[in-house]
Every structure is written in structure tokens, then in C-alpha cells.
Amino acid sequence: MKNMEHLNRNDWFDRIAKHNNNRQYKAMFSSWVGGVVTDPALMLVPIDDHMVHRGDGVFEAIRVTAAGPYLLKPHLERLFASAEKISLKVSLNIGEISQVCENILEIAKIPDESSPGEGMLRIFISRGFGDFSPNPYTTQGSQLYIVAMSFTPLALEKYEKGVSLMISKEPVKPGRYAQVKSCNYLPNVMMKKEAIDKGYDFAMNLTAEGFVTEGPTENLLIVNSAGELVAPKFDYTLRGTTLVRTLELAEKLSQGMVSRVYLADLSVDDLRSAREIMMVGTTLGVLPVTKFENALISGGRPGPVAQQLHELLGRDMGLSYS
């Protein structure tokens, strides 16, 4: 690049402000700075934080409704479990982080009258800043970053018509990494890219044994040919907080809709013969899949179990789905 400008502090921040004005981002807490900002241009993370250049950190995404952060405690428990699996020390406890979440939501005014019941908390715990090496012992200590943002649900059309799902060629994360919600999401990104490039809404991958797992950010749930509600075992997938709650809520399904609820190894053939397939996640709720690869599921229409589970989950969140 010719004629590269040497900017002073004010010019630097002026240019950041021009490029970083996303109004979705309402507030950010940073332990690095020691406070909260509401200007998106100031929502920054050190480039030498190991979360940035090594993916060395863990995170959670939490839906916020008029009733408050949905499943906050289970999400934070999973956050701490992920941190423990990679020996990442967290300076605050669950109660203290919960309080930070409450405070930042109040500052961010989420939810508010312009978007009632619609918000997200993005929580990150990083290994910390200090250098560009892969050595986890050279940082200045772990850091906590929390972003409160507005949230726009998926278009209603997706729930009325259903979405498409394909099998990805991306390999499953090995061993314990499948149960760690780390900031190294490159395999997930590539899986999503593969789906979009091939004209699908979602993709999921397979274990070496041929068992189906999960999508980039979503869990899978099916009603099998026997009328049973089944999700893949958590042996090789992330233990989905929303999925676990959905399975609990399945007890409230209308009598006779499903005969049993459980976890199992699922094959591609199980999906092909399924009465219904659903993607389940924090931002999705319960989303019906009406096309799997080249086959129509449930006659190409959302099935009754997906519809009722989505409504049950919505009410549990404090929302009203119709």
C-alpha cells in the first residue's frame, strides 16, 4: 500500500467510528478496561488476546426475553465446564457473572419498547492478552467480555415452510473438544459455508462410525419412524442447553404425539426415514426441517411435533409464538 497514513489517536478512533456503528450492539463489558461502554466503536478486544489469534477462549450465547436471560444459570454452568476442560481459570464466579449480566442489560436497556423481549448476551472468557505465542502461561490473566445486543428472530416463513439440511464433509471435532464451546469455531464456519455454497440452510456432520452429530450452532432432534423423539448422544456433540430444556418440555406434548423421549446413536438412514427433523438452538427455538438432502421430510411441510415444541419453548422463554 502506497502513501500509508500515520494516524494519531483521534484520527484512529474517528475512522473506527465510521466503520463500527452497528446499532445492534447496545453495551459491552470488558474486564480488560474495567467497565462498560455503549459506543460500538469502543467495543474492542486486544489483538494479542489469545482468544483472537489462537481461539483460546470459551463463550456462550444467551437469549434475553421480557422474563430475563433465558436459562442463564445452565449457560453459565456450561461456560465454566468448558473453561475447566481447557484449564482456563475464571476470575469471577457464576453469581458474579450473573450480576454483571443483569447490570449490562440494564445499561443496554434490553429488552425495551422498540424490541420487546428480544435481546442477546454474548459472553466470552479469554486466556488473556500479552503476546502472540501459543503458550497459555504468557498472558496477563484471563479476561471477561460481555456484549448485550438486540436480536431479530428468524423470519416466520422459515417456521411455516421449514428449512433444508445436508450432510457436511467437515470432520467431527475429536474427543473432548466436541464438548468444549471454544472460540475456535473454524470447523463450524466451514460447515456453514459448505451449506450456503450448496444452497442449503443447514449442514451437519458425521462421526467416523457414521452417526449424525450437530450443525454449526444447532442441535438435531427427530421424530423417528416409530414415533419416538430422539436426539444424538452428547458423546460427540455439544450438550445443547436449549435442546436439554426442549427434551424436558416434550413431556407437555399432547398425548400420543410421541411415545418416548431419549438420546441415541442416529444414522443417516434414521434421518431419511424420520417423520420429522428439527434443528434446535438458542436463536432458533425449534425449527422444522422439511428437506433432507434430496428427500422431503413430513411431506415437505412442518410436522406437528416441531410446531408444538416451538410453542412450548417460546412460552417457556416468555414469548408468544403463533
Q: Which residue ranges make up each domain of the chain?
A: 9-150, 156-317
SS (H, E, C) 175-186: HHHHHCCECCCH
Tell me: the pLDDT tens digits for 77-107?
A: 999 999 999 999 999 999 999 999 999 999 9
Q: Each residue of 28-63: pLDDT tens digit? A: 999 999 999 999 989 999 999 999 999 999 999 999
Residue 202: per-residue pLDDT = 98
Q: Mark 263-295 as b/e (b = at least 16 C-beta within 10 Å).
A: eeebeeebbeebbbbbbbbbebbbbbbbbbeee
Residues in the chain: 322
Q: Give the C-alpha separation, 285 to 307, whole Å.
A: 10
According to the model, what pLDDT value does residue 282 have?
Answer: 94
Domain 156-317 sits in CATH at 3.20.10.10
Distance CA 68, CA 76 (A): 14
pLDDT tier at 111, thresholds 50, 70, 90? confident
Question: How far is it, in rounded angstroms, from Cα 269 to Cα 174?
Answer: 23
Please tell me which residue in 26, 173, 181, 192 is annotated as part of the active site. 181
- Looking at residue 176, its pLDDT comes to 87
Asked if domains 9-150 and 156-317 share a fold, the reply is no
Measure the CA–CA gap between 321 and 202, rounded to whole angstroms. 22
Determine the Cα–Cα distance for residues 46 and 30; give it in Å rounded to an integer.
11
Instruction: Give the relative orientation of helices 241-249 and 72-85 as an angle to the nearest 10 degrees.
Output: 140
- Per-residue pLDDT at 316 exceeds 90: yes
Mean pLDDT of 144-154: 95
- The stretch 293-321 carries a mean pLDDT of 93
Q: Would you call 252 a catalytic residue per the annotation? A: no
Q: What's the pTM value of the predicted model, to 2 decimals?
A: 0.94
Check whether domain 9-150 has CATH 3.30.470.10, yes or no: yes
Cis omega before residue 111 (within 30°)?
A: yes
pLDDT of the residue at 132: 97
Assigned C-alpha cell, 137? 502461561
pLDDT at 116: 53
Give the range with max mean pLDDT: 1-5, 242-246, 252-256.
242-246
Which residues make Cβ contacts (< 8 Å) with residue 258, sequence separation at least 6? 223, 227, 228, 229, 250, 305
What whole-number distance in Å separates Cα of residue 28 and Cα of residue 264?
40
Q: Work out the average pLDDT over 212-233.
A: 97
| pLDDT for residue 3 | 80
pLDDT tens digits for range 167-206: 999 999 988 899 999 999 999 999 999 999 999 999 999 9
Q: Is the dihedral of CA 271, 198, 280, 188 positive or negative?
A: positive
25, 24, 5: which is closest to 15 by C-alpha?
Answer: 5
Confidence of residue 1 (pLDDT cuts 50, 70, 90): low
State the pLDDT at residue 23. Answer: 81
Asked whether the predicted pLDDT for residue 21 surpasses 80, the reply is no
Give, rounded to a whole angstrom, the gap between the first and last alpha carbons of the chain. 54
Q: How far apart are CA 180 and CA 125, in angstroms?
A: 13
Using DSSP bridges, classify how beta strands 229-232 and 261-264 pair: parallel, antiparallel or unpaired: parallel
pLDDT at position 20: 72
Report the share of the chain in percent with pLDDT over 70: 97
- Give the separation between CA 310 and CA 258, rounded to whole angstroms: 15
Question: 250: pLDDT confidence band, cut at 50, 70 and 90?
Answer: very high
Q: What is the mean pLDDT of the chain?
A: 94
- Compute the 3-state secondary structure of the chain and give helix, strand, coil in percent, each to the nearest 5: 30, 25, 45
